[in-house]
Every structure is written in structure tokens, then in C-alpha cells.
Amino acid sequence: MTDARDRVKTLFLERAVAFGTFTLASGKTSSYYINSKRVLFHAEAITLIGELLADATADLDFEAIGGLEVGAIPMAAAALTAFHRRGLHREGFFVRKQAKAHGSRETVEGFVKAGDRVVVIDDVLTTGGSVVQAIAAVEALGAKVVRVVSICDRLQGAREALAAYDYRPLFTVRDFGIPA
């Protein structure tokens, strides 16, 4: 699936990578920003990302895929579509940053239960704090995280934060020509 990977890389470079002064979710300041939403809401890109996520998990036996809102929502939907095209049944989920005060009041939305094997996904990781929050929420349900996949790792601590997990970024900032 090199063609899909190459095309997603091109779309990120054209649509998502910006240079300037930015404050990241981690609180760090950066000379570049990767606005993945400019890619995640592009029809061709999200279709290809779904295929790349399906490829990145093809060797696993698992029940569900998802991660922290907002970035993981379109990623999970795209992966589920790719799984379906491949004849695989998987569930999707997302983790709320805060439980709603009404309705089911769940932090994890979707169909994940104790004993499930899950893949946690996220778009761009810096320190890994957001994905660690998602992991904690699904582990609190009794699910087992069998892999963590991100679209891009900024190479600023996420791998270290995820040392206990099978972490596989699709890209790193080096793939986009940005020094780590």
C-alpha cells in the first residue's frame, strides 16, 4: 500500500503542515504545526487513512478500534469502513475528554466491554498525553490495548510514554521533512 502511504504523505504536506509559532496541546511551543483535521475531513485522504489503519492492524485479532475525541472519530470510522470492505467485523469507539452530565454519562462511547482487545488510535502525538488518557479509559473498562497507532509522531516523547504498548506511527515528522 505504498501508493496510499505516499498519497497521504503528499496530502499532509499540502494541507496540514504549517510553519510559524504554535502552542501545542502538550503546552509546548513549536515552530511547526500539523493540523490533521485539514486531512481527516478530506474524502480521498480519510479513505486512504482507513486503508492504512487496516493494514497497520492486519496482523492482530481484536474487537474494537478508537481513541480520544475529536481526531480519532473520523479515523475510527474510516478504519471500520476499510475493515468492512475486507469482510472483517470490528467495533468502533471514542473516548470523551469528560463524561457528559446527561444520557448514559459514559466516558467511552461505542461498544467496548471487559475482555475486549482494542487498538487505540490518535492523529498527531507529541508527548502522548492524549492517547494515554484514551488508554486509561478503555483499560478502566477491562479492555486490553493490543496496539496504539498514530498518523504522525512528532518524536517528542510519545514513544517513551507508550513504552509498555505496541506503538506504531504511520509517519513521523521526519517523513514530512521536519527534523525531530
Write the pLDDT tens digit of every residue in 4-13: 999 999 999 9
Count up the domains in the chain and report the number.
1
- The CATH number linked to 168 is 3.40.50.2020
As given in the structure block, the three cell numbers for residue 177 are 521533512
pLDDT in tens, 93-145: 999 976 665 556 678 989 999 999 999 999 999 889 899 999 999 999 999 99
In DSSP terms, which residues pair with 67 in a beta bridge? 94
**Distance (Å, rounded) from C-alpha 36 to C-alpha 9?**
11
Task: Assess whether the previous peptide bond of 149 is cis (omega < 30° from 0).
Answer: no
> Looking at residue 67, what is its pLDDT?
94
| Structural domain range at position 167 | 2-176
**pTM (two decimals):** 0.93
